[in-house]
Amino acid sequence: MIRPYGDTTGDGRVQVSFTLPVPFGSETERAVAEGAALQLAGKMGLDPAMVVHAKAVGSQFTFFIVYGRVAHLVDLAAVQITEREFPELAAAEVNMRIRASLGRKLVVVGATIGTDAHTVGIDAILNVKGHAGEKGLEYYREIRVVNMGSQVSVPDLVARAAAEHADAVLVSQVVTQRDAHITNTREMAEGFSAAFGSARPLLIVGGPRFDPGMTGDLGVDRIFGRGTTPRDVASYLAHVLAPGTPADEADETQEVA
């Protein structure tokens, strides 16, 4: 059982930030705005609380940082995590498994969908330059990558996946306002189910605001969150689509990826 740490161990001090739809112009408006922030902090369980920063955001909104103490305890034994159910593989082993199991290249189609124009995430996983010191899926010689880019409609994604005979579809979603990432993902899952039925490609989504435990609710096979690397995705693809390695190749440790 632990408490938050601020100034001294176990003092329960926390810092939170939020925006309220109140102006921060005149002296009276500032007093009302800070009073509203403290009222909210009190209802959140911060006692005592103080406004340590307040700044106007336009003419009718104010951004606050509030510092205060909470009485809540955190039970580490009650924390639930989603552990990786597959081993992390080197590029050579991923290639070997795909070649041995499929006898052809594994086809991956990737995109960001809806109005999401952010391609940094999908490019980090797909492009050969990769991310965090790891090369992307284009580097794996047994994987053929089709990167459709940003703002791709679900019908276009479904059609391209069918045309390329995709084994897996990777979708990145960064824009989360009004749960756009949830809506887009469900639309994608429904589109692929309608077009392919049970023979649909593996559906994988990633983004900083996804809950990895929502795969069933969203109708996808895997969700990757913050910190995902190309090797994580490649290892998962090999685990699901190309499981196992023939015994006569098990000792092959030197291979150019």
Q: Over the stretch 166-182, which tens digit does the pLDDT of each residue have?
A: 999 999 887 667 777 88
Average of per-residue pLDDT values in the chain: 89
Q: What is the pLDDT of residues 93-148, one digit of tens each?
A: 999 999 999 999 999 999 998 887 788 888 999 999 888 788 999 999 999 999 99
Class of domain 13-76: alpha beta
Q: How many other C-beta atoms can be found within 10 angstroms of the C-beta atom of residue 242? A: 20
Q: What is the pLDDT of residues 46-62, one digit of tens each?
A: 999 999 999 999 999 99
Q: What is the pLDDT of residues 182-212, one digit of tens each?
A: 888 899 999 999 999 989 999 999 888 878 7
Of 43, 55, 129, 135, the active-site residue reads 129
Q: Within the chain, which residue ranges are assigned CATH 3.40.50.280?
A: 91-249
Residue 135 among the catalytic residues? no
Cβ within 8 Å of residue 158, ≥6 positions away: 191, 192, 195, 196
CA distance 105 to 128: 16
Q: Which CATH architecture has domain 91-249?
A: 3-Layer(aba) Sandwich (3.40)
CA distance 127 to 135: 8
pLDDT at 245: 55
Q: Within the chain, which residue ranges are assigned CATH 3.30.30.60?
A: 13-76
Beta strands 49-56 and 62-69, pairing class? antiparallel
